[in-house]
Amino acid sequence: MGDCSKALSFLEKALDIRQRIQTSNHPNLADSYNNLGVVYTKMKDYSKALSFLKKGREIRQQMQHPDQPKLGDSYNNIAWVHYKMGKHPEAVKYQKRAVEIGEVSLPPNHPRLVFWKQKLKTIEVK
């Protein structure tokens, strides 16, 4: 847990800097929110994780073409939080969206897409 606390501290500082020098919908802010969400997921603070992940997803939806891989990352991460919370229908919904994005934006054998598809199978089994 110590590594997560240290990561959280650095990520919060990075977010603070980015919020001061970049616009509120800058893609780098989406990355910061996503990274914070991932750390909170590892710390099992799922409500904070979802809050940060959804902020990142919202920025990515505004700034990028709706079928970009980073937006797929957002859906994948949100799906995993729902899965960890035992909300399997929600997890499946978000993971399917990640796969849909990957299928139009990545080559069929891209590691990210393969991973998302494997994760979908894992989630659907539950």
Q: How does pLDDT run across 71-118, given as a tens digit for each residue?
A: 999 999 999 999 999 999 999 999 999 999 999 999 999 999 999 999
Residue 48: Cβ within 10 Å count: 16
What is the domain range of residue 33?
Answer: 2-125
Of the pLDDT bands very low, low, confident and very high (cuts 50, 70, 90), residue 2 is low
User: pLDDT averaged over the chain?
Assistant: 94
Q: Is the pLDDT of residue 22 over 70?
A: yes
Cα-flanking dihedrals φ and ψ of residue 7, to 5°? -60, -45
Tally of structural domains, the chain? 1
pLDDT at position 96 is 98
Angle between helices 2-21 and 27-42 (to 10 degrees): 160
- One-letter amino acid at 112 equals R
Cα 99 vs. chain centroid, distance in angstroms? 13
66 pLDDT more than 70: no
CATH value at residue 26: 1.25.40.10
Instruction: Kindly report whether the global pTM for this prediction surpasses the value 0.95.
Output: no
What was the pLDDT predicted at 65? 72
